[in-house]
Amino acid sequence: MTALRATGCTAADAALSELMPTGRLRVAIAVGATPSAAFAVRDAAGALHGVTVDLAAALADELGVPVEWLAYRSSGEIQNAAARGAWDLAFMPVDAQRRQVVAFGAAYHLMRASYLVPAGSPIKRIADADAPWVRIAGVRDTATLRASALASPRAVHLALDSSEDAVTLMTSGGADAIALGRESLAATSARIAGARVLDGAFLEARTAVAVPRGRPVALALVSGFVEQAKATGRVRRWLDAAGLTEASVAPPGMGG
């Protein structure tokens, strides 16, 4: 809590009060079957692991505050819960629609999204997915699925509750492509025999820290922490620890 207290007790108390009005830091975590810069996973004992967990835990440790972990199936669910005041801190890909309900701070990751297609698929390039016969599965209310709808407007888009549902649909023959971030697709491809990730990306975005709208002091506080975590190499180490060695850390000063 050293850096925060250096601003003075009154400023520190105001920042903490705005960040965590209930007296505990309620952290919204997207949980999936495979890790990514925005998704955590659970181990056999049910504990959460991943980059977002590491970021939030380190922030709470620096502030010396208790954490309440709130698990969601997707960033879309987290986005929709913001208006209810259900959480205080989250991490998610940035897009224009999402800015209407959350305030984004410093970016910590550069995201690229593509398609996963099954063995023998005639879809060879991202452009091939823009066809009336193509059924693209994705997670509802996410930046990735919205971007896919823009990139492949003639395709049929299937909005599902989780990436796990998308895998189930493809393995049963109900989807011709899955739209996800490249890191998630790399892990997902190993679960579907013969599946491959298409080269390139239909979405290039940033993953950033977020708070509910109307909390500017809290946003400045968490953004400062993320910038420090990037500068000291902690974000890079957390990505590597999650097996995301090819993931790109956002450059210094990049906002959400």
The pLDDT tens digits of the residues spanning 129-139 come to: 999 999 999 99
104: left (phi over 0), alpha (psi -120 to 50) or beta: beta
Residue 60 has pLDDT above 60, yes or no: yes
Q: What homologous superfamily is domain 2-109+207-241 in, according to CATH?
A: Periplasmic binding protein-like II (3.40.190.10)
Going from N- to C-terminal start, the domains of the chain cover: 2-109+207-241, 112-203
Question: Amino acid identity of 13?
Answer: D
Domain 112-203, architecture per CATH = 3-Layer(aba) Sandwich (3.40)
Helix 234-241 with 216-231: angle, nearest 10 deg: 80
Distance CA 178, CA 115 (A): 5
- How far from the centroid of its chain's Cα atoms is residue 126's Cα? 22
Domains 2-109+207-241 and 112-203 fall in the same CATH topology: yes
- pLDDT band at residue 1 using 50, 70 and 90 as cut-offs: very low
Q: What is the Cα–Cα distance from 149 to 134, expressed in whole angstroms?
A: 12
Please check whether residue 148 is in contact with residue 141, taking contact to mean a CB–CB distance below 8 angstroms: no
If one counts every other C-beta atom within 10 angstroms of the C-beta of residue 41, the result is 17
Indicate the range of 4-8, 183-187, 230-234, 238-242 predicted with least confidence: 4-8
Per-residue pLDDT tens digits for 4-18: 444 455 667 888 999
pTM of the model as a whole: 0.83
